[in-house]
Structure 1
Amino acid sequence: MNRRPDGSGRRPAWPRPLLPAAVALVLILALTGTEAQAHAVTQGDKGYIQEITGVHLMPFVYLGAKHMMTGYDHILFLFGVIFFLYRPRHIGLYVSLFALGHSTTMLLGVLFDTNVSSYLIDAIIGLSVVYKALDNLGAYRRWFGVQPDTRAATLVFGLFHGLGLATKIREYELSPDGLIPNLLAFNVGVEIGQLLALATILIAMGYWRRTASFRRHAYTANVAMMSAGFLLIGHQLTGWAVAT
């Protein structure tokens, strides 16, 4: 039985996929995606931000936390990253790499007014979900005989997730007065939201891992996550094609 490349635990023996459960989860994610875009800027939030100037730290902390907690693409990726991580130091390392990546490009993307298609960036974010699900399934070893560096991949995809955040922040049309303090506050809020989402996932995973169903359904969960990633990619590429 193969160990994870970082030594954080053993892979379960994969059963045959439980297709009904996978289809149900994918449909739930698909319906969620049609009702609300990941990290969408609500009209109320956008109107408030456009009306204020100067430094407003707490509102931006709140908006950053809300942005992350409602971003199902980020949450799916985090779910995949920690799926087979058991030791706190491994979880801390991977979450820190992800945070470093998305914090860097989020701040730079807004400050330098990066003009990148939000559809294409969000499609890459969907690809990150697919990538991580395939990694959890051990696909790269079976297909190519190699195991990609999971730490480097987490950092690189974190950079793209940060660009996705930057494209959404630019929709707020922030005032240049107090821009940097407000951006830093927003980033603090994003990290708070990420910690809250991570804590929720870890609590749920902790209960699940203590049951016999974890081994039975781990394969199914990652297949469903991969399918959701493909849905996100298709949705964003369709939006890009229509917009252009």
Structure 2
Amino acid sequence: MHSLSMGAMDAMDASVVRPNRSLLLLLFTALLFLGMPDALAHAVAEGDKGFIQESSGVMVLPFIYMGAKHMITGYDHLLFLFGVIFFLYRLKDVGLYVTLFAVGHTVTLLLGVLAEINISSYVIDAIIGFSVVYKALDNLGAFQRWFGHQPNTKAATLIFGLLHGFGLATKIQEYEISADGLITNLIAFNVGVEIGQLLALSAILIVMGYWRRTASFWRHAYTANVAMMSAGFLLMGYQLTGLIVSQ
């Protein structure tokens, strides 16, 4: 189980367990201002959308670029990945969990577009926001304390990967891409997503590696996950508000 165990929590000082309010405010504010533009950086850029709508046929490089761009600027995806690897120290474990996530979103990305499964982008993005909340609670050991049971973290990562894939599919559908070269372009987009994910993950791992070597990691692990949970609730609220307003 990759979380703050009950023993570790009990061993901390009260000042450690209680979130550092200034740090929490800083993290939350940063997420707020980074996330709000273009529907939390998860919408299709008008320039990209216009290019795709005016083009047809196989376009490998443009779709690789857009897939990578979507992942690198997709704060909801990155927040979830940040939560997944937060307590993973071995590259073997990081690789396993990231692979499960990648398999999940690849399957539903292809299925969602090819089978023309239409899901409200507001609903699926709210669910993605919930996945961030879930992972933060998991990292905090909340489920073990509340229910006396630790959910299977590998299964949860795969399931949420499937849900994140539908989020990617809704964005692809917004492109209204031509059927000519569709499968090749979808594969190219997914390759771009994986490239973007690898780049973002590498940066996160480098930062986490340095942070874990400092005493502040365990002092602020609780705070960081509370901030992540708050960001997840913000994402959920933003999307649900959009859903209500759009009716």
Give the % identical residues.
68
Aligned to 1:180: 183
Contiguous gaps of at least 5 residues in structure 2: none
Q: 1:31 aligns with which of 30, 33, 39?
A: 33
Q: 2:156 aligns with which of 153, 157, 164?
A: 153
Q: What are the Cα deviations for residues 189-230 of structure 1, in whole angstroms up to 9, with x where unaligned?
A: 000000001000000000000111101111100000000000
Q: What are the Cα deviations for residues 143-180 of structure 1, in whole angstroms up to 9, with x where unaligned?
A: 11000000000000001100001001111010000000
Contiguous gaps of at least 5 residues in structure 1: none
CA RMSD of aligned residues (A): 1.4
Secondary structure of 2:116's aligned partner: coil
Q: Does 1:219 align with 2:225?
A: no
Inter-partner Cα distance in structure 2 for 1:55 and 1:162: 22
Secondary structure of 1:54's aligned partner: coil
Shift of 1:11: 5.5
Q: Does 1:237 align with 2:240?
A: yes
Inter-partner Cα distance in structure 2 for 1:139 and 1:210: 25
Inter-partner Cα distance in structure 2 for 1:228 and 1:167: 22
Q: 2:2 aligns with which of 1, 4, 10?
A: 4
TM-score (structure 1 length as normaliser): 0.94
Inter-partner Cα distance in structure 1 for 2:77 and 2:2: 22
Inter-partner Cα distance in structure 2 for 1:26 and 1:204: 18
Q: 1:20 aligns with which of 19, 22, 33?
A: 22
Amino acid aligned to 1:214:
F
Distance 1:123-1:190 versus aligned 2 partners, 3 A rule: same
Amino acid aligned to 2:138:
D
Q: What are the Cα deviations for residues 54-92 of structure 1, in whole angstroms up to 9, with x where unaligned?
A: 111111111100010000000000000000000111101
Q: 1:80 aligns with which of 80, 83, 92?
A: 83
Q: How does 1:54-69 map to 2 (within 5 A)?
A: 54-69=57-72
Q: What are the Cα deviations for residues 116-159 of structure 1, in whole angstroms up to 9, with x where unaligned?
A: 11001000000000000000000001111000000000000001
Q: What are the Cα deviations for residues 19-75 of structure 1, in whole angstroms up to 9, with x where unaligned?
A: 111122112211222223232111110111111111111111111000100000000
Inter-partner Cα distance in structure 1 for 2:217 and 2:27: 16
Inter-partner Cα distance in structure 2 for 1:136 and 1:4: 6
Amino acid aligned to 1:222:
N
Q: 2:47 aligns with which of 44, 47, 61?
A: 44
Moved over 4 A (4+): 10-14
Q: Does 1:143 align with 2:141?
A: no
Confirm or deny: 8 A CA contact 1:11 1:84 kept in the other structure. no
